[in-house]
Amino acid sequence: MILFVGLGNPGAKHAHNRHNIGFMAADEIIRRHGFSAARSRFQGDVSEGRLGGNKVLVVKPTTYMNESGRSVAEAANFYKIEPHDIVVFHDELDLDPGRMRVKTGGGTAGHNGLRSIERFLGKEFRRVRLGIGHPGRDRVLSYVLKDFVRSDSEWLDPLIEAVADHAEYLARGEDATFANRVHLTLNPATDDTKDKKKDKEKD
């Protein structure tokens, strides 16, 4: 079994916060791939489905961000899921809005949700870093806890949709392919690029 974790804070007042982009990604995966309706379990909202030939459990912790690790650890321990089979979707200040990176392990860069998961499971889980941009050192808390603005939908919706469309590669452990497919979806080759590629192939 593969464990997908969307990070965010529960409740309607947080639903559209920048800090909740991980919840948004999880919700779109659930919707796009016909996962089961959410039920309350492991201190979170849990849905199940299949991707890439694997059974996938999606957990959205309802513990609030700072205690996300408690929910993730309960689910992982119950199903005996190893860290390399855990994929965490979270907001990333150090990436420009609309950018996405995948990595295994590493630091938390001050992200309290990641820090909580590390405390329970160590560092070697996989992370899908969803860029929201950095407002400056003194404005981080107010920035992440405020809603996306209307104009953000121009990059936010395509990003979330691309992540959900290609999530099966994460379930297969093909992180590089996932990242490449998302990049190509968000940055389709222009006609000029295609023509140059054809000319090069002819040479």
pLDDT digits (tens, 9 = 90+) for 49-60: 999 899 999 999
pLDDT given for residue 190 in this prediction: 60
Asked whether 46 and 38 are in contact (CB, 8 A), the reply is yes
5-16 residue pLDDT tens:
999 999 999 999
pLDDT band at 201 (very low <50, low <70, confident <90, very high): low
111 included as an active-site residue: no
For residue 121, give Cα distances in angstroms to 23, 60, 76, 84, 132: 20, 17, 9, 11, 26
Of the candidates 14, 16, 19, 84, the residue annotated as catalytic is 19
| Confidence (pTM) | 0.92
Side chain identity, residue 57: L
Dig out the tokens for 164 from the structure.
Answer: 């959900």
pLDDT given for residue 194 in this prediction: 53
Instruction: Tell me: pLDDT of 203 over 90.
Output: no
Dig out the tokens for 59 from the structure.
Answer: 């957990």
Instruction: Give the integer Cα–Cα distance in Å for 40 and 185.
Output: 34
**2-202: CATH architecture:** 3-Layer(aba) Sandwich (3.40)
